[in-house]
């Protein structure tokens, strides 16, 4: 899974390969996201500052 991140303040869009790397970059707490995306099985998170979407990575090959 990957996580598409949009900073609403400066319109910066990034893609992260894990919750850990996303949280290191943003300074957010990973425990909340493991619960939100893992246990609760949500695919989107949004507040007044950011929007994060959990998405699959499409790869080439068979």
The answer as to whether 62 is a domain residue is: no
The model's pTM: 0.88
Number of domains forming the structure of the chain? 1
The answer as to whether 61 is a domain residue is: no
Instruction: Enumerate the β-bridge partners of residue 36.
Output: none
The answer as to whether 28 is a domain residue is: yes
The answer as to whether 27 is a domain residue is: yes
For residue 40, the model assigns a pLDDT of: 95
The answer as to whether 41 is a domain residue is: yes
The residues near 46 (Cβ < 8 Å, ≥ 6 apart) are 52
Distances (CA, A) of 4 to 8, 37, 61: 13, 13, 23
Tokens of 24: 């290191």
Q: Which domain holds residue 46?
A: 2-55
Per-residue pLDDT of the chain (62 residues; tens, 9 = 90+): 899 999 999 999 999 999 999 999 999 999 999 999 999 999 999 999 999 999 998 888 76
The answer as to whether 9 is a domain residue is: yes
Q: Whole-angstrom distance between the N-terminal and C-terminal Cα of the chain?
A: 19
The answer as to whether 60 is a domain residue is: no
For residue 62, the model assigns a pLDDT of: 67
């Amino acid at each position: 899974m990957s996580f598409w991140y949009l900073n609403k303040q400066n319109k910066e869009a990034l893609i992260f390969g894990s919750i850990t790397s996303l949280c290191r970059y943003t300074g957010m707490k990973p425990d909340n996201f493991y619960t939100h995306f893992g246990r609760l099985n949500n695919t989107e998170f949004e507040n007044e500052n950011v929007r994060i979407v959990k998405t699959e990575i499409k790869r080439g090959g068979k």
